[in-house]
Structure 1
């Protein structure tokens, strides 16, 4: 093993969405938060963690990967929210040799959407920009390990984040974790449907990642100028704890779209 790994982040900007008609829009209108995809690269090959949802941003992401000069071998999806896997179709078209993979639980969630189309119908009406329309079902990453030029890239299945089944990528050689929606970096976490028990479980997931003592933490929703460090984990825990003190035992039925 002679190559060294690098990590770089593509962040798609906030995108306008149609908010609830009965609620006055904030200044600047309703927006979807900036959404990130992470490229882990060796000397020749690379692994992408998550994608972006709109057609325009997916094409820009593909151009960005192509400009890196690396061969994209794998696209890993951390969880089953449509904004993080819908762009896979654009990337697979551009990089047909790349594998699309996820944990068993995440692959099951994506399969459900591929068959129902419920999220595409809902979010297609919400987004002002055109969304990618094709869902590609990932293969199940049975051994939870990806190899990149002799380096371990480990997929860790977790339970609760802002979705019931989630996962993250651990890159020991970089002391890095790419955490999907488990943590949010300088944008409001999505809390729709959360209650006391799920928020406590989410905090436990974050605490388990803290035990790894990572130096680099990349959240899937982050401001483009945000710092990718371990404070992201502590900040998300503090946010969830404050919400839980304010609304103990309550299930949140709505959440601000403006981040």
Structure 2
């Protein structure tokens, strides 16, 4: 029987001009474990949090065989170099269509952007990029871990990880939980495709969803609740955008509809990206 444990990074201060005390959204890495071996999903971004992640994995006393990267955003995989130094035999993989986008994120221009957000905090040395997954599944002690291409999330292409034996999905950035959704790089058409991706996840009939970004105080991992929140947020954002003359009005409308959500910087960046 497989177990699923989740490491949550917490919110991280970033440098972003024009924003009040901005933070990066709390992020997760998920360990899917059997009796002896384990597979990690996503590997965070800063050296410090990746180091804490490594110690957490060691505490589980499992042989780490793979790290699966759900999509090409660097905040989900720049920590790979730290993980691979600790577990040299591990293989980092992603869907073949995701790999070119991950490679793009470690080009000098993109790395400079990430360094500007997290000055002096990225892992040292050459970044590690996942290689294409060979086949459709990752076998963990005979049990299938199934990457599922879903197309759009806060970037395209994206995937989730279906663990049928545990009735669970590790969702990357397709669903969010208790935290503002990153919409800065989406338009209305992309958000319609994102809603279709949520439908794809729902069709997997999981009871449990681990989201790539979630508030540390999220009450549970109930799939129905999380998918409903994510679908509702995307719909509400487009409705608010229709009547908003500027980013400030859009932010105000979303704050009124979703008071108290984590990481206000995300909403600010998302709103500014629409105007």
Same fold (TM over 0.5): yes
Q: Which structure 1 segments of 5+ residues have no match?
A: none
Equivalent residue, structure 2, for 1:127: 118
Distance 1:88 1:41, change over 3 A: same
Task: Check if 1:17 corresponds to 2:14.
Answer: yes
Question: Which of 229, 234, 237 is 2:231 aligned to?
Answer: 237
How many Å apart are 1:194 and its aligned residue?
Answer: 1.4
Q: Distance in 1 between matches of 2:143 and 2:119?
A: 41
Question: What SS does structure 2 have at the residue aligned with 1:232?
Answer: helix
- Contact 2:153 2:194 (C-alpha < 8 Å) held by counterparts: yes
Alpha-carbon offset, residue 17 of structure 1:
0.8
1:193 and 1:212 mapped to 2: Cα distance? Answer: 27
**8 A contact 1:15–1:129 mirrored in 2:** no
Deviation beyond 4 Å, 4+ runs, structure 1? 252-256
Q: Which residue of 2 aligns with 1:147?
A: 139
Superposed CA offset, 1:205-253 (max 9, x none): 0011111221110001012232111111110000000011122499x99
Could you tell me whether the CA contact under 8 Å between 2:155 and 2:185 is conserved in 1?
no
Q: In the alignment, what sits opposite 1:215?
A: 207
1:117 to 90, 96, 108: 108
The answer to whether the 8 A contact 1:196-1:248 is kept is no
TM-score, normalized by length of structure 2?
0.86
Q: Secondary structure at the match of 1:158?
A: strand
Q: Deviations over 1:69-101 (max 9, x none)?
A: 000000000001110000000000000111100
Task: Tell me how far 1:189 sits from its aligned partner.
Answer: 0.5
Per-residue deviation, residues 21-79 of structure 1 (Å, max 9, x unmatched): 3x4x1xxx111111100000000000000011111110000000011000000000000
Query: How many pairs does the alignment contain?
Result: 249
**Structure 1 residue aligned with 2:270:** none
RMSD: 2.0
Does the aligned pair in 1 maintain the 2:73–2:105 contact within 8 Å?
no
TM-score by length of 1: 0.91
Is there any run of 5+ residues in structure 2 with no aligned partner, and where?
A: 252-263, 268-275
* Partner in structure 2 of residue 164 of structure 1: 156
- Structure 1 residue 123 displacement after superposition: 1.7
Matches of 2:232 and 2:120 in 1, distance apart? 33
Structure 2 CA distance for partners of 1:224 and 1:47, relative to 1, 3 Å: same
C-alpha separation in 2, matches of 1:249 and 1:52: 36
Check the 8 A contact 2:177/2:214 in 1, yes or no. yes
Q: What is the rounded CA distance, in whole Å, between the counterparts of 1:135 and 1:108 in structure 2? A: 14
Distance 1:210 1:153 in 2: 17
